[in-house]
Amino acid sequence: MQKIQIYDTTLRDGTQRKDISLSCEDKVNIAKRLDEMGVDFIEGGWPGSNPKDVEFFKRAARMDWKHAKIASFGSTCSARKSPAEDENIQALLEAETPYCTVVGKTSILHVKEVLRTTLENNLRMIEESVAYLRAQGRGVIYDAEHFFDGYKEDADYAIKTLQAAARAGAETLVLCDTNGGTMPWEITEKVRAVRAHVQTPLGIHTHNDSECAVSNAIAAVKEGCIQVQGTINGYGERCGNANLCSIIPNLELKLGFQALPPGKLHCLSELSHYVAELANLSFDDHLPYVGRAAFAHKGGIHVAAIRRNVNSYQHIDPSLVGNKMVVLVSELSGRGNLLSKAEEYGIKIQGEEQVNRVLATVKTLESQGFSFEAAEASVVMLFKRQEEGYASPFELIDFSALVEHRQGRGLLSEATVKVRVDGEVIHTAAEGNGPVNALDLALRKALSGRYNAISHFHLADYKVRILDGHNGTEAVTRVLIETRNGKKGWSTVGASSNIIEASWQALVDSVEYGLMVCQ
């Protein structure tokens, strides 16, 4: 298989995304994971721009990199200086990276209006900068900024900028769609034209402003580019960069190229989630290949089909990228969804009528505001309560929840719970920092004497969604509760126009499910 170089710029271009700010430690940890993944180049940052990047390169220089080559990033020398006099070029050398990535201007607009210099001087800046760094023993990758826009303005001059970098010894010439507005067929046409004039290997760097970054990168590879620059999860300025988590599996699984060392592709989903976690961003479940929804099946017809042939509604085996297939239960479900969920949780079906009853209950409850997609423990409890001979570990008799303001103490929440356990009525009360917390504590207190496992349950998350806001305070409220017991977690749902009732429904499912599986 032909090797395509993967050049990761998450630590530089990716951090230009709104709402991302990585610490130096974050950058080091991400770089380690990228190296373990087998990425060819890791662009660590712009050493002349900020102290954090300077510190990263100091640490990187002392580390042992198994696979990746670390690259520092900077621009060509300024219009009125030689490379030896230019602070930015000297910062690249001080970073002590084996590779320097130098960005230069292709667009006449940028040369005249941004740099405010002549076209000839811009060619001088490119050639001298690359040659100087090569003379200092650095490998040089040349990023032709705004290449595709510049080619539209003046194709001859755009080619001359590439030829200047090539003459100076650039190892790879990277064509950049910096504004992200180029279409795939334009990429194909222009990469093909460049190859007719330049012998140096080409790379591609695309942005996603027109939602074409991945398609554009693939089109460039099809035309002979041997390096792809991008970021994990497509992070980057404005609408983002080309998403390596889509490009890599496309190259390997669809086009037959080698992008990563053998055996590394299945780590892709884990890497995607890891970077999102360190970036402190909510993970996009709908990302292709690596998102939790990428292989999630909800429609009844779809699920019925995949139960007969798993490939009927999946373009790849999700395990190839470290992901997994998920069957969702909702009002759109058919019997196949419930059968798949029962099999997943080891529930023994007691006849077709049981499935039909659960399916009818799901559809009725979802019409009332419940949502079972993210509350699989509640689905399991629907099945269990339909089983012949199933006995709940406790039976609710009544509960109450109070919120009041007491002088000297401020707001106070108190709940009482009366439940029947093994024929005995237990009546308890508890105070909490809110009515739901108080109910939770009161129920735990009532059951703790009979079920030791409940002491290990931890309410990890509590989400509330108003379903029909036009009804104001009378609106139906959906509550999702996530409970954890060590590393194991489960989610449950409730819905009601009374938020306390909705919370109680989810809480009871959570406790009952936990006692069932954790005893």
Residue 332 has pLDDT above 80, yes or no: no
Supply 461's token pair. Answer: 């998350």
**What rounded mean pLDDT belongs to the chain?**
92
pLDDT digits (tens, 9 = 90+) for 284-311: 999 999 999 999 888 888 888 888 888 8
Confidence of residue 470 (pLDDT cuts 50, 70, 90): low
Residue 222 has pLDDT above 90, yes or no: yes
Find out whether 107 and 154 touch, Cβ atoms under 8 Å.
Answer: no
Supply 1's token pair. Answer: 């298989």
What one-letter code names the amino acid at 431? E
First to last CA, the chain: 52
What one-letter code names the amino acid at 34? L
Mean per-residue pLDDT for 447-460?
87
What one-letter code names the amino acid at 462? Y
* pLDDT for residue 133: 98
* Rounded-to-integer distance, Cα 170 and Cα 172, Å: 6
Share above pLDDT 70 across residues of the chain, in percent, rounded to a whole number: 99
Q: Which distant-in-sequence residues (6+ apart) come within 8 Å of 463 by Cβ? A: 479, 480, 481
Residue 488 has pLDDT above 90, yes or no: no
Q: At what angle do helices 335-344 and 376-384 cross, to 10 degrees?
A: 90
pTM of the predicted model as reported, rounded to 2 decimal places: 0.81
pLDDT digits (tens, 9 = 90+) for 353-393: 888 888 888 888 888 888 888 888 898 888 888 888 888 88
* pLDDT for residue 519: 62
Alpha helices in 136-282 (DSSP H): 147-153, 155-167, 184-195, 213-222, 244-249, 268-278
